[in-house]
Amino acid sequence: MIVVFDAYGTLWDVGAIEKACAEVVGPGHARKLLDLWRQKQLEYAFLHTVMDRYTAFEQITANALKYALASLSLEISAAAITQLNRAWWTPKAFTDATPTLQALERHTRVILSNGDPAMLAAGVQASGLDPYLEAVLSVAPSRRFKPHPKAYQCISGRFGEAPNTVAFVSSNGWDIAGATSFGFRTIWVNRAERPPEELGVRPSVVVRNLRDLPTTLAHLFKS
C-alpha cells in the first residue's frame, strides 16, 4: 500500500518554528507572527495557483513573512529575516512521527508537500525521517500547489496507482478536502480537534494523532 503524508503540520510541527520567531521578535510577538506568517504562506500558495503564476514555495514563504512583519509593525534585520526563513528548512518532527513510520515499514511511505524539493530534502534530514521514507515528492513539477488536482496527480504519475488504492494523511483540513476530492482515501489527523471544512467532502477517517494510523489503515482498506 502507498501511504502519502503531508509534511508541514502533519509529520513536522510547524509550531516549533515559534521558537525561531521568539528568538528574533521576542516571546510576546512570536505566536502572532507565526500564525499570520503561516496563514499568508498558505493563502499565497493558493492564490498563485488560481492566478496560474507558479512561484517557488521558498519565495512564497519569504513574501508571506514580509507581509506578516509589516502587518504587525515589526522591524528586524536582513540577517534575522534569513534566520526565520531558514527555520522552514530545519523542521522538528512530531514525537509520534518516527514510531508511526517505523510501524508502517511494510508499506510505501511517501511525502507529498507544497515545499520545494531542496526544502523537503533538508527537512527530512533535519527531522531524522529520511530512513523511514521511500520517496519525498514536491508538487513543484506540477506547477500547482495543493489542493489543486494536478498536485495530487504527482502520486499517480510516480506510482501508477489508482487514487482509491492510496491512503493520504494530513492534519490540514483543506488538504484533506483536496485529496478526498481527487479520489484518495483520506485520514485527517485532527490534533487540534477542529471542525471539518465545509467544502462538500469529508475525510474517510479522522484520528487524533499519528499513533492511531497503523490500526486505522488496516480497517480502512478492509472496507
Active site residues: 6
**Measured between alpha carbons, how far apart are the two ends of the chain, in Å?**
15
Q: What is the DSSP letter of 148?
A: S
How many residues would you count in the chain?
Answer: 223
For the chain, the maximum distance between any two Cα atoms, rounded to a whole number of angstroms, is 55
Q: Which of 150, 169, 161, 177 is nearest to 214 (CA)?
A: 169
DSSP-based three-state secondary structure for 88 = helix
**CB-based contacts of 167: which residues, under 8 Å, 6+ apart?**
1, 2, 3, 4, 184, 185, 186, 187, 217, 220, 221
